[in-house]
Structure 1
Amino acid sequence: MLTWWRHQPLEVKIAGQCAPVLAGVKPSNMLVLENKHIRDVVRTLEGTGLSRRCLYAGNEKNIWLLYRKAALEEIVFRKEEREFLEQQGYADDCLEQMLVRLGQRFREYRKTQDIPFPHEMGVFLGYPMADVKGFIKYGGKNYLYSGYWKVYENVEERKQLFESYEQVRSVFVQEAEKGKNLWEITSEWQCMTA
């Protein structure tokens, strides 16, 4: 499976990792790509409505956050999420500055691993606060279910959400494998679901 994935076109790799955000059913996704794709990411995402931020540039791979700006702002500025992020040192009122801080914290973690993983990343990925806080409280253990993230409450609701993510992923990957570019797939999806 990993060998298959490595040799796929960039559109298939992005669709496989980020279909829920491409489809607009999730505010953001992480994208891990080989360094050779740095310049192609911008071109490949044109017309999709997604913003991007490289959180980490390693020797072999880069880790990106792909996001829909309005959807992510809605999440990070909700009362509970905002209070949590302020406790983690995110005092800015600007999403871009918050993402700069997230990138700094993530790079520090990756570089030394002397600091704890920035678990606030879950907020930026659109995870429910109960699951972010549960993961922190229990150190990633004692979860009730594991899918796109570890679930600490509302298991049936999360299972349905994960299933919808998988359905979207399947459609986007199939269409990308047919040679369609991401903006075409995203546009067709929006027309189908409007």
Structure 2
Amino acid sequence: MLECNKNCLFFNQDQNDGFEKWIVQLLGPVLLGEKPAEIVSFPKKDNLELRRIKDIFSKCNKVSYKEFVAFNGCKKILFYNSKLLDSTLLDLRNLVFLKKLGYGEEYSLDNYLGHLINKMEEDSIPHEIGVFLGYPLKDVIGFMGHPSLKLTKINGWNVYGDSRLSDEKYIKFNNAKQQIRRMLEKSSPEMIVQSA
């Protein structure tokens, strides 16, 4: 990976097929229904790769996406599994938490996604994105600085308090990526995305 001057990460664009495989493997947990969402950054000049990825995912029934330009000028795509993200956000603890952060009293997936993206376009990546990405709420709250939650370890994300739930999630996310990696040995990225 390389880092662009606007603090966004992207894959080396000289490896076209490798780029598509990398994206599909990264999104494996979303494709396989283990993770509600994932966010990917693209450099401003990488329009060809961006179009290719959007073309591949436009044929996917399970994963939707929203493209936007973040506050720092990086193009980003939020890929999400609508069904899983909806159930994640409707979890009562997550819903109460998000409402306290200014998300609408009347829940709708589109409105909550719109509110999140608006924050990322105008200001910064808000801490609550962790809820959308499927991280345990305790880890999101701990990352925000809640004094009763101490950093336990870093395992894909910052884990606070009892690590068992976080470890279970991490294992599921990682297993999905490994499953997609094995599938990529036999099928093209397009075929995997279309069959999801």
Q: TM-score range by the shorter chain?
A: 0.7 to 0.9
Distance 1:157 1:87, change over 3 A: closer
| Aligned 1:39-188 pairs, distance under 5 A | 39-45=51-57, 46-56=59-69, 61-91=74-104, 92-110=106-124, 117-137=125-145, 142-176=150-184, 180-184=188-192, 187=195
Q: How does the TM-score come out when normalised to structure 2?
A: 0.77
> How far apart are the structure 2 equivalents of 1:182 and 1:86?
38
Name the SS of the counterpart of 2:33 in structure 1.
coil
Match of 1:66, SS state, is: strand
Q: What amino acid is the match of 2:99?
A: E
Counterpart of 1:13 in 2: which secondary structure? helix
* Contact 2:67–2:76 under 8 Å retained in 1: yes
Alignment root-mean-square deviation, CA: 3.0
CA distance in 2 between counterparts of 1:55 and 1:128 reads 25
Q: What is the CA–CA distance in structure 2 between the aligned matches of 1:166 and 1:8, rounded to whole Å?
A: 24
**Structure 1, unpaired ranges of 5+:** 111-116
Q: How far is the alpha carbon of 1:33 from its aligned partner?
A: 2.9
Structure 2 Cα separation of the partners of residues 174 and 148 of structure 1: 21
**Do 2:67 and 2:77's aligned partners in 1 also have CA atoms closer than 8 Å?**
yes
The total of aligned residue pairs comes to 181
- Retained in 2: the 8 A contact 1:19–1:172? yes
Q: Which amino acid aligns with 1:39?
A: R
What does residue 8 of structure 2 align with?
Answer: none
Change beyond 3 A, Cα 1:174–1:58: farther
Q: Which runs of 5+ in 2 are unaligned?
A: 4-10
CA contact (8 A) 1:22 1:186 kept: no
Structure with the bigger percentage of helix: 1
Which secondary structure does the structure 2 equivalent of 1:126 belong to?
coil
Distance 1:126 1:79, change over 3 A: same
Question: Does the CA-based 8 Å contact 1:29-1:125 persist in structure 2?
Answer: yes
Cα offsets for 1:30-64 (capped at 9, x unmatched): 12234423322332111351011124358874221
Query: Is 1:13 aligned with 2:45?
Result: no
